[in-house]
Amino acid sequence: MNRTIIALAVVVSAVSLTACGSSTGDRAVSGAGIGAGVGALGGLMLGAPLEGALIGGAVGAGTGAFTSKHQVDLGRPIWR
């Protein structure tokens, strides 16, 4: 039960932290990176860090690509 709550908290954190940048590509890349990191940590708690990273990266990339700058804006990406 505790692991499920922790995993849910990690997923919610990943979704809330994804997507910095103004273009769709920037937002998808940053979302994938943040999501993969958070997903790997959540997966590590459940004994499957690779699967967690893959799922987190996919969710983060999707969230970054399908949100606009006006919905979630964490500023200019580091690589720009």
How does pLDDT run across 25-80, given as a tens digit for each residue? 888 888 888 888 888 888 888 888 899 999 999 998 888 888 777 766 666 666 66
Question: What average pLDDT does range 5-25 have in this prediction?
Answer: 66
Domain boundaries, the chain: 2-66
The answer to whether 39 and 52 are in contact (CB under 8 A) is: yes
- pLDDT of res. 55: 92
Nearest-angstrom CA–CA distance, 41 and 6: 10
- pLDDT of res. 58: 92
- pLDDT of res. 71: 67
**Dihedral of alpha carbons 67, 52, 33, 14, sign:** positive
pTM of the model: 0.63
Identify which has the larger pLDDT, 39 or 10: 39
